[in-house]
């Protein structure tokens, strides 16, 4: 399973490192692919989307789940 996230406030390679570390610490995450320029992150594995968002919020990077190119308010709608 892959979850696409929109992540705000990533501005440099240091941010990419922090985002990657925050997400890989979440149970069920197998891999993380960060696109700094687009502000997008792809997470592969069985992690809960809300757990991913919470981990990023705690790290200082507001995020939400992207579905079909659209942004949801919280990632919990499944849409």
Domain definitions of the chain by residue range: 2-71
- pLDDT tens profile 46-59: 999 999 999 999 99
User: In sequence order, what are the beta bridge partners of 31?
Assistant: 44
pLDDT per 10-residue tile (average), the chain, 79 residues: 94 97 98 97 96 97 78 47
**Cα–Cα distance, 5 to 2 (Å, whole number):** 10
Distances in Å between the Cα of 2 and the Cα atoms of 5, 9, 13, 45 are 10, 22, 23, 6
> Which residues have a Cβ under 8 Å from the Cβ of 58 and sit 6 or more positions away?
22
Confidence at residue 1, expressed as pLDDT on a 0 to 100 scale: 87
The fold of the 2-71 domain, in CATH, is Alpha-Beta Plaits (3.30.70)
- pLDDT tens profile 56-68: 999 999 999 987 5
């Amino acid at each position: 399973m892959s979850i696409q996230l929109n992540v705000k406030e990533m501005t440099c390679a240091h941010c990419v490192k922090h985002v990657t570390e925050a997400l890989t610490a979440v149970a069920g995450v197998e891999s993380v692919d960060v696109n700094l320029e687009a502000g997008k992150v792809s997470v592969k594995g069985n992690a809960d989307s809300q757990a991913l968002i919470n981990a990023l919020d705690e790290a200082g990077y507001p995020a939400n789940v992207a579905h079909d190119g659209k942004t949801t308010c919280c990632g919990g709608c499944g849409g």
